[in-house]
Amino acid sequence: MKILVDTNVLISAMVFDGRIYDLLAHILKFRKRDIYVLVSEYVEHEFMSILNKKWPSRFCGLYHQFRTMDFVFCESAPNLTGMLRDPKDIPVLSDALYHDVDIILTGDKDFLESGITRPLIFSPARLADLLRL
């Protein structure tokens, strides 16, 4: 199973710690069991940009912690695919389709209300419930 993590989930996990960080840490433990948590170039760049803008004094430490986690870092799609209410979400959807992921893990309301069925769109709370965490 492949799960693509959206920027807002990374921000919540890395900056605010707590339940979302615990969820990612739990999922990352299963990499050897064919569960891969992907971070695309687009998401990583957006993550870095937001970290640097909003938490510049914490940027280096948070980014280092992020890069040492067992994510699968992948290239972004060469072409944009799909239609979404927020154009900034299209690169994330494109990356998910390009890498044939099973789930986009996001807290983005536009994604969650998009009606997209492939890949599945899960909030961290929904995924935690499914995993019974």
Threshold 0.75, pTM exceeds: yes
Instruction: Report whether 81 contacts 42 (CB < 8 A).
Output: no
3-class DSSP state for residue 18? helix
SS3 for 19-59 is HHHHHHHHHHCCHHHCCEEEEEHHHHHHHHHHHHHHCHHHH
Closest CA to 93 of 84, 85, 126: 84
Which residues are bridge partners to 2 per DSSP?
36
Q: What are phi and psi of 17, to 5 degrees?
A: 55, -145
Judged against a pLDDT cut of 90, whether residue 100 lies above it is answered with yes
Confidence of residue 106 (pLDDT cuts 50, 70, 90): very high
Instruction: Report whether 23 contacts 124 (CB < 8 A).
Output: yes
Q: What average pLDDT does the structure give for the chain?
A: 91
CATH code of 115's domain: 3.40.50.1010
Report pLDDT for 105.
97
Number of domains the chain is built from: 1
Task: Count how many Cα atoms sit within 13 Å of the Cα of residue 45 in the half-sphere of its side chain.
Answer: 9
| Tokens representing residue 15 in the block | 């900056």
Range of the domain at 56: 2-130
The residue assigned the tokens 């789930």 is 103
Confidence of residue 31 (pLDDT cuts 50, 70, 90): low
